[in-house]
Amino acid sequence: MTNVIIRPATPDDALALNAYRRQSADEPNNMLTYSAGEYTRTVDQERERIVSASTADNQHMLVAEIDGKIVGHCVCAGRRAQGALRHTAGLGIDIHANYRGQGIGRALMQAMLAWARENPVIHRVELEVFTHNTRAIHLYLSLGFVVEGLQRQVYFKYGRFVDVYIMALLVGA
């Protein structure tokens, strides 16, 4: 793996992270829930999102950086509601197209799951993945996630309806 730094996102990352997320969304066949032109969060909103993740007890955001450039992003966001669902966190991850297949996604996931396991609030980490994204599915399975269900034709991407698997990992005692 290239010299990659995995670290928590800081408010100073807002501009670069926002540009990275827009670029990822605009990438053809990006395997993300966003399509071209759909990532509309402003830099200020990105900064607020980073601050929220760094101050909430059930959220965390990481970036992967190479030579000062963000090449990956992972967020684990607990439900905002107090009570019955607070322990459940949704996970999202993306890696720049030029850096996939180098272990960066695995490193980000391992760092995020270490945070989740140490967090006294988080018990369940869940994600959705396109059923045709076999590389990501293999990664998630290798980290202990299990497929809990299939949602048919949830997204309209690539000119067609796309199915997703719901996958989850129980991390708490």
Distance CA 25, CA 121 (A): 31
Is residue 139 assigned to a domain?
no
When pLDDT is averaged across residues 96-119 and rounded to a whole number, the result is 94
Residue 123 has a pLDDT of 94
Is residue 131 assigned to a domain?
no
Q: Phi, psi (5° rounding) for residue 76?
A: -125, 110
CATH number of the domain residue 96 falls in: 3.40.630.30
Residue 81 has a pLDDT of 64
Residue 83 has a pLDDT of 76
Q: Answer with the residue of higher pLDDT: 80 or 129.
A: 129
Range of the domain at 56: 5-123
List Cβ neighbours of 68 (8 Å cut-off, separation of 6 or more).
Answer: none
Give the confidence band of 73 by pLDDT, cuts at 50, 70, 90: very high
* pTM of the predicted protein model: 0.91
Number of domains in the chain: 1
Give the confidence band of 88 by pLDDT, cuts at 50, 70, 90: very high
Q: What is the largest CA-CA distance in the chain?
A: 43
Is residue 23 assigned to a domain?
yes
Is residue 137 assigned to a domain?
no
Residue 153 has a pLDDT of 97
Is residue 32 assigned to a domain?
yes
